[in-house]
Amino acid sequence: MKPVNNRELILLVEDSSYMRHYLTDLLSAHYNVRATENGTEAFRLAIELSPSLIISDIILPGINGLDLLTMVRSQREIAKVPFILLSSRTDEESIVKGLETGADDYLLKPIRAPQLLAKIKTHLELYHFRRKELENELQAEKNNNEQKDRFIEIASHELKTPLTSLYGYMQLLDDPDLTDDQLRQFYVKKSLDQLKVMTNLVNNLTNITKFQLQHVLDDFSRIEISEFIEGIINKLQSNYVFHQLSIEAEKGLSVKASPFHLEQVIGNYISNAVKYSPDSEVVKVVVRNNGNGFAEVCVKDRGIGIPKEKIKNLFKRFYRADPIKISGFGLGLYHCAEIIKNHGGRTWAESAYGVGSSFYFTIPLKEG
Ligand code: ADP
């Protein structure tokens, strides 16, 4: 902590009042000093003030200097604060214990001022770097937690909508006065539709988790891209009753890629093309050599399209161009972009609202 006068704060823990005053006077010429004679009070102050360095006598009444050290090291926010132990010459065993517990340094009494000041200076400089590291770590963790919270919020919201409808239809079906067979059939069909939506959402969630787990595990191998995509289309076609998947591909284009991740990207583009074209049955994949050393893959649909001003955001985390009509988590395209970036390629989309969309990615070609 750097208070108003911009000097570092040192927390001094010493039960001898003579030593405490002597050290306070000595250090006050260069630093802000907060002194206490008591280990418990010192721990409280350490948390409250987050000092830049702690100097503590080993022998204290109650909580001693070694206990204080253990407590400080176990408290995340102050765990990395430099800790200097003060000890008498006759207590070498405690010094060794202190160093094993994580003390940064020690000084034997009687204290020599130049030695103490030099040690403080060195440890403060080191701490300056450590503190930056810690701040970065904490910030990354905070961002991660925020992302997780947002994800949970979206996931529960998306699942709640079909669940509420399903509950409604089930209640209607449960009515003992419902005798109309046609109406009953209608409610059953509606319930099944909602179950399908929920199944899709859960499958999406599973894919996201699988993607994260697989992230570090998958190996790159040589892939002939048109054959690879034909295989995926054959696998996927049976999932779609109303849509016809087709491919127009230049043969003999080889890339080096992670098969698992490449399948994720192509599968995601295709399932989006199907999902966002409820009134059209055509989804076409086009593969070509773009002439600049890349294979270019495009998945085209004649679906709902995307307003021009929203296109630039599509590959951002959690972004959904039209969050009301069709459910989803807004993570699929983000993952696609991450995967393709890891492969040295690029992702983008072209679209006309109400007409259809084309989603592209490139991946470097490998000769031979
Ligand atoms: P999700 O589909 O789960 O919302 P995605 O990251 O896969 O998430 O897509 C982000 C957004 O991009 C979607 O919410 C949708 O608005 C838009 N989108 C993606 N693919 C298409 C497509 N083929 N046609 C129209 N809009 C699309």
Tell me the residue ranges of DSSP E strands in 169-281. Answer: 221-224, 244-249, 254-257
% of the chain exceeding 90 in pLDDT:
62
The reply to whether ligand 1 has any atom less than 6 angstroms from the CB of 330 is yes
Query: How large is the average pLDDT for residues 334-347?
Result: 92
Give me the helices (H) in 30-112, please.
39-49, 65-73, 92-101
Q: For the ranges 74-83, 141-150, 178-187, which has the lowest average pLDDT?
A: 141-150
DSSP structure string for 144-178: HHHHHHHHHHHHHHHHHHHHHHHHHHHHHHT-TT-
% of the chain exceeding 70 in pLDDT:
95
Comparison of pLDDT for 91 and 273, the residue scoring more: 273
Q: Nearest C-alpha to atom 25 of ligand 1 is from which residue?
A: 305
Residue 323 CA to ligand 1 centre (angstroms): 9
As a whole number of angstroms, the longest Cα–Cα distance in the chain is 98
Maximum mean pLDDT: which of 130-134, 162-166, 288-292:
288-292
The reply to whether ligand 1 has any atom less than 6 angstroms from the CB of 300 is no
* Closest approach atom of ligand 1 to CA 334: 6
pLDDT in tens, 136-145: 888 888 887 8
pLDDT in tens, 197-218: 888 788 777 776 666 555 545 6
Judge contact between 55 and 45, C-beta under 8 A: no
Judge contact between 41 and 3, C-beta under 8 A: no
CA separation for the pair 284, 301 (Å, rounded) = 7
Which helix H or strand E contains 231, and what residues bound it?
Answer: helix 225-237
Query: How large is the average pLDDT for residues 148-156?
Result: 79
Q: What is the pLDDT of residue 133?
A: 81
Instruction: Report DSSP state, residue 60.
Output: -
Structure tokens at 240: 């779609």
Relative to beta strand 254-257, strand 221-224 is antiparallel
Of the candidates 8, 7, 11, which has an alpha carbon nearest to the alpha carbon of residue 69? 11
The reply to whether ligand 1 has any atom less than 6 angstroms from the CB of 357 is yes
Structure tokens at 355: 């007409």
**3-state secondary structure (DSSP) of residue 288:** strand
Q: Which residues pair with 106 in a beta bridge?
A: 85
Task: State which of 314, 339, 350 you would mutate to test the pocket of ligand 1, scoring each by most atoms of that ligand within 8 A of its C-beta.
Answer: 314
Quick count: other Cβ atoms within 10 Å of Cβ 245?
A: 21
